[in-house]
Amino acid sequence: MILAVGRRIRGHTTAIVSIAVTSVWMTALAAEHQWWVSALFVGYAGVVPLTTILS
């Protein structure tokens, strides 16, 4: 059971990271922080593609 969960997570790493990036910048936007646009750009232009390359 635990091995199946690990395989499922490894198979969807990019989607999980994308959801995490989205939740970070949307939370910052809702909290009216000024850095939410930076989080959006860095997340989608840097973190998600890097995750795709490394996974």
Per-residue pLDDT tens over the stretch 1-35: 667 777 777 788 999 999 999 999 999 999 999 99
Tell whether pTM > 0.85.
no
d(C-alpha 24, C-alpha 44), whole Å: 12
Predicted confidence (pLDDT) at residue 43 exceeds the cutoff of 90: yes
Region of residue 33 (phi > 0: left; psi between -120 and 50: alpha; otherwise: beta): beta
